[in-house]
Structure 1
Amino acid sequence: MTVRPIRLFGDPVLRAACAPIETIDDGIRALVRDLVDTVELPGRAGVAAPQIGVGLRAFSYNVDGVIGYVLNPVLVEASGEPAPVGEGCLSVPHVWHEALRHPYAKVVGIDLDGDEVVLEGEGLMAQALQHETDHLDGMLFLSRLDPQTRRTAMREIRESDWF
């Protein structure tokens, strides 16, 4: 079991768009194992590859007791009226604010065999799918906050003991 350390706000890997996975090899299989091992810890709904320092399009999830992963995910649908939802991020510890998220989301990608994977859901699953695909595009949930809340969050980050 390899639980990888989480990269924190300020690390450039978190702001870069991830490259698609071109070939599924032993390195990608190891990445998936690490993503799954890392997301299994209590209180974690998702871990994107850049959060463990890898600039590839992959993430793992842990929602309602279901743990899995997807490679090369694309957010193909986010529907319903966006609403504020309490959200945090492992890469921004101890910062929790209301972010606008759609109540339904659908992601399409592949698994380690190259077979299509479709993940969809409402509630926490919808939020996790949107949050993790944002990571793969180099975006943190802080960008989803209204300007005043973003200023508050940035002050919390600057005053934190981890920054």
Structure 2
Amino acid sequence: MTIRRIIVIPDPRLKQPSAPVEAVTDEIRQLADDMLETMYDAPGIGLAAVQIGVMKRILVLDVSREGEDKRPMVFINPQIVWSSEETSTYEEGCLSIPEYYEEVERPARVRVRYVDLDGKAQEIEADGLLATCLQHEIDHLDGILFLDHLSKLKRDRVMKKFSKVARREAAG
């Protein structure tokens, strides 16, 4: 397993949709292992392949609490097939937007269809933190950041700050 570098805004890849995974191969399974290792190291509870610069529709997550056994999950080509009208609000953060957190309202429950590491079609219904995390990571696969769910003023302020940091690092 390899810990990969996580890309951060304003990297333009984060705004591009990811391509479907054609087949679950050993290479895809290795990518999933690397993504889990990277996510745990960060530390985070979810990671989409685009966040390590791989433009494939794969995400990993683990919403187990501190002190509990790890429960890593891998979703290949995930898609939300149903979402509740009822909403919930969670404070979200993102490994590609370090140290920035904001309340985001999303559907409280979702049903997600995906392929597992054995190449088998699966479906999961989720609520609570798992539902929020799945929606956040699937957004990444569609080129959407959690910032896109905020007001234009908040989004512009955060993008300006991170663009300044990126320019300083490029010059530096």
TM-score (norm 1): 0.88
The whole-number CA distance in structure 1 between the counterparts of 2:42 and 2:36 is 12
The whole-number CA distance in structure 1 between the counterparts of 2:42 and 2:148 is 26
Runs of 5+ consecutive residues of structure 1 not aligned to the other structure: none
1:142 matched to 2:147? The reply is yes
**Contact 1:71/1:111 (8 A) holds in 2:** yes
How far apart are residue 24 of structure 1 and its match? 2.1
Aligned to 1:92: 97
TM-score (norm 2): 0.84
Aligned to 2:108: 103
1:30 matched to 2:30? The reply is yes
Helix, strand or coil at the partner of 1:47: strand
Aligned-pair identity (%):
38
The residue type paired with residue 25 of structure 2 is D
Structure (1 or 2) with the larger CA radius of gyration: 2
**Contact 1:80/1:102 (8 A) holds in 2:** yes
The whole-number CA distance in structure 1 between the counterparts of 2:74 and 2:118 is 12
Q: Assess, with a 3 A threshold, how the Cα gap between structure 1 residues 17 and 42 changes in structure 2: closer, same or farther.
A: closer
What are the equivalent positions in structure 2 for 1:57-72 lying under 5 Å apart?
57-64=57-64, 65-72=70-77
The whole-number CA distance in structure 2 between the counterparts of 1:115 and 1:127 is 24
Aligned to 1:47: 47
Runs of 5+ consecutive residues of structure 2 not aligned to the other structure: 65-69
How far apart are residue 26 of structure 1 and its match? 2.5
- RMSD across aligned positions (CA): 2.1
